[in-house]
Amino acid sequence: EDAALLQRFQERIDAEERIEPNDWMPEAYRRTLVRQISQHAHSEIIGMQPEGNWITRAPSLRRKAALLAKVQDECGHGLYLYAAAETLGISREELVDQLLSGKAKYSSIFNYPTLTWADIGAIGWLVDGAAIMNQIPLCRCSYGPYARAMIRVCKEESFHQRQGYEIMLTLSRGTAAQKEMAQDALNRWWWPCLMMFGPPDAASQHTDASTRWKIKRFTNDELRRKFIDATVPQAHFLGLTVPDPDLRFDESTGHWTHGAIDWEEFRQVVAGNGPCNAQRMERRRRTEEDGAWVRDAARAFAEKEKSRHKA
Ligand code: FAQ
C-alpha cells in the first residue's frame, strides 16, 4: 500500500476526521471493522435468544410488553450493524454464513442460560450496562457508519439497562425468596459480564492497532474498571452482595479492586464449550432454514417486478 496514502489516512484519523465508505482506507482497517462490527451484529441477534426464552413467562402484561420491545430493539441493532458492515464491501449473506459456519464470533455472554425471571433483570442491569460502557466510546469511533449507528443503539440500551435495574429493585424489595432469586442471578452473571470486555490488555491482540485507528478509545481493562466502579454501588443500593470476596474500595486510587477473573472459563466459552453454545447455534441455524422460503419468495417477487418493468 502506498506510504503516502497510509500517512494521509493516519493524519485524518489523528485530526478526528470521520472515515466514510468511499474514502481510501488500509485493508487492515477494513478487516478489523468488518470483524468487530459483524461480531457485534451477531451478538445482538444471538443475544435475542436468552431473553426471548422468558417472553411467554413474563410475570405481568407490563413486564411482557417491555421485554418484547427490548428483544425487538436488539434485532433492530443487529440489522443496523449488518448494514454498517455492508458499507465496507461485504454482503449480508457472507456475514451470516460466517456466523453459521462458526468462523465469526459473537459475545461470550450469550452462551449462559436464563434460569429464572431474575436473570432478565440481571441481563438488563449488567449485560446492557456493560454494553453501554463499551458502546458510548464507539459513538466517537473513526468509522462514520459505525459511530452513527452506535448513537441510536446507546439510547435504546439505556432504556434496557433501566428496565433491568427496575426488575432487580422490585425483586430485592420483594419477599425473601424474590430477593434470593435476585442474588442468585447476580452471582451467576457477574463474572461472565466482566469477561464481556475481552481479554486483559496484555493478551488483547487487536487493541494497539484499534487504538491507533481510533476504533477503540479505551482498552478492555479500562472499560472493565469503569464498569465495576459504576456497578458496585448499584449492587449495594439493591442490598445485594457482589460475588467477589476480594472486592475492595481502594481509597488511594478511588477505584474498586477485584479478584482474579477465570480466563480459562472465558477461553472455553469462546472456543464453543460454554453451557449454551451448541443450543444457540442450533437455534440460529434452524431459524435460518425456517426463513428460507421468505427469502426465496422475496427474490422471486423482485425478479417478477424487474421483468414487468422491462416489458
Ligand atoms: N466474547 O484483541 P481483543 C450486546 C475475542 S453487547 C467473544 O481484545 P477487540 C448488547 C475478540 O473478538 C455484546 N469473543 O479484540 C446486548 C478477538 O478474537 P478475533 C457485543 C471475544 O476486538 C445486550 C479476541 O477475543 N458488543 O450485544 C470477547 O479489540 C443484551 C481478542 O480480543 C460488541 O461486540 C467476548 N466477550 O476487543 C444484546 C462491542 N472479547 O476477533 C442483547 C463491539 C474478545 O481476533 C442483550 N466490540 N473476544 O477472532 C468491541 O468493542 C471489541 O470487539 C471487544 C474486543 C471489546 C469485544
Global pTM reads 0.96
Confidence (pLDDT) at 193: 98
Report, in angstroms and rounded to the nearest whole number, the Rg of the chain calculated over CA atoms: 21
Helices first, then strands: H and E counts in the chain:
14, 2
Contact yes or no for 84/145 (Cβ under 8 A): yes
Question: Is the ipTM value over 0.90, yes or no?
Answer: yes
Q: Ligand 1: which of 31, 38, 43, 221 to mutate, most ligand atoms within 8 Å of CB? A: 43
**220-238 vs 176-195: helix axis angle to the nearest 10?**
170
Whether the Cβ atoms of residue 121 and residue 172 lie closer than 8 Å to each other: no
CA distances from 59 to 63, 118, 123, 208, 287 (A): 7, 11, 16, 46, 27
Mean pLDDT of 87-91: 98
d(CA 269, CA 246): 24
Work out the average pLDDT over 47-63.
97
- Asked if residue 309 has pLDDT above 90, the reply is no
Nearest-atom index, ligand 1, CA of 134: 51
Work out the average pLDDT over 77-85: 98
Q: How far is CA 166 from the centre of its chain?
A: 21
Cβ burial of 306 (10 Å; 0-12, 13-18, 19+) is exposed
For 52, counting Cβ atoms within 10 Å of its Cβ (0-12 exposed, 13-18 middle, 19+ buried), the class is middle
Give the C-alpha separation, 212 to 9, whole Å: 11
Residues with CB under 6 A from ligand 1: 35-36, 39-40, 43-44, 47, 74, 105, 107-108, 123, 127-128, 131, 134, 195-199, 204-207, 210, 220, 270
What is residue 310's predicted lDDT score, i.e. its pLDDT? 84
- Judged against a pLDDT cut of 90, whether residue 1 lies above it is answered with no
Among 240, 198, 18, which Cα is nearest to 108's? 198
Q: 3-class DSSP state for residue 121?
A: helix
The residue to which cell 446492557 is assigned: 128
Query: How many whole angstroms separate alpha carbon 254 and alpha carbon 118?
Result: 31
Q: What is the rounded CA–CA span in Å between residue 281 and residue 59? A: 28
Reported in sequence order, the residue ranges of the chain that DSSP labels E, i.e. its strands, are: 248-250, 255-257
What's the half-sphere exposure (Cβ side, CA atoms, 13 Å) at 90?
21
Q: What's the confidence (pLDDT) of residue 311?
A: 73
Looking at residue 274, the DSSP 8-state letter turns out to be S
Q: Give nearest CA residue, ligand 1 atom 50.
A: 36
Distance from the alpha carbon of residue 120 to the mean position of ligand 1, in angstroms: 21
Tell me how far the alpha carbon of residue 195 lies from the centroid of ligand 1, in angstroms. 9
Ligand 1 pocket: which of 36, 114, 120, 155 to mutate (most atoms within 8 A of CB): 36
- Average pLDDT of the chain is 97
pLDDT tens, residue by residue, 243-302: 999 999 999 999 999 999 999 999 999 999 999 999 999 999 999 999 999 999 999 999
Ligand 1 nearest-atom number relative to CA 106? 7
C-alpha cell at 101: 459456519
Q: What local confidence, expressed as pLDDT, does residue 74 receive?
A: 98
115-137 pLDDT, tens digit each: 999 999 999 999 999 999 999 99
Rounded Cα distance between 191 and 114, Å, is 15
The pLDDT tens digits for 135-159 are: 999 999 999 999 999 999 999 999 9
Kindly tell me if the per-residue pLDDT of 17 is higher than 90: yes
Rounded distance, CA 175 to CA 169, Å? 12
Chain center to CA of 168: 21
Whole-number Å distance between alpha carbons of 129 and 152: 15
Residue 229 has pLDDT above 80, yes or no: yes
Q: What is the DSSP letter of 26?
A: -
Does the structure show a pLDDT above 90 at 160? yes
How far apart CA 156 and CA 274 sit, in angstroms, is 28
